Chains A and B, each alone.
Chain A
């Protein structure tokens, strides 16, 4: 066990865990932030996507000991009132079916738009290919990303 001081969603949190513990479980089990989802544990499904200093990473493969003072953003902290353009577009297009994969999809999409505000179809596909949706909402996800990138939403 070791103590780590983590910067998550603009606040600092102290946890006492094994250094190899993936951030996914630190968030879910130790900090009760369950928006970040478990789907595979091996960086294949994207359900656990968070931002590490603005980059989309898979929290299931991110040991707490490797985080250091990098800033983590989770779905709970993406916006204060759930009004990030990507979240708004998701609601406008009514993307979710079961909804389980959607936090990860939104975190991947918002990281993409941050570094590339006007992605092409191919760029969207490349950035989103690591996020699986068994319900098959891919077509709506692409539509919502385009809506958010066009600034169609106020």
Chain B
């Protein structure tokens, strides 16, 4: 499903070059639930943005669902973000002064569907436990509720992958657990591949696989032995 080969991302600031990713090799199969951990500045977000087709690597290749992403056009990437991927960010990234319903509908505008937009959005909000809040503006919702709206938005186009960059970073532990329950359910019931970045080991325990980053490299990649985790594709997961 997601395969990174020697991913390198460099930022040039003035005359120094900063390597945010320094040769990342990883394979994440369909239906996996992976947590990405590591100290601040280790390149987790950079990795997620490339995986999410929001950014391009400096070198190396990224193969998504069998397609090398670097060969795709900007519009192709937009299409992938629209249909195949769902994003959940630490800062929620909802449109301000816009209702929960309209926020959730947003991806549908860009996938060329006209009919049943509202019905779909209602259903998505209901599935994250936000029935009755459809007409609330995003700033009238609590952090946990906003994150649920963001998850509903990520789900609306039935993506095969959800990418969550510190989705619980702004939430208290009780709300965090509720959000993680949603992810767990999506992974277990719908088989959606979930990749999430977190600093908290408790949160990472929800995932069957934990990948650790340090200085732009993967330093460990471990799986919880039980319950039965999906089999790793041969030779892809990199261990140090």
The answer on A and B forming one complex is: no
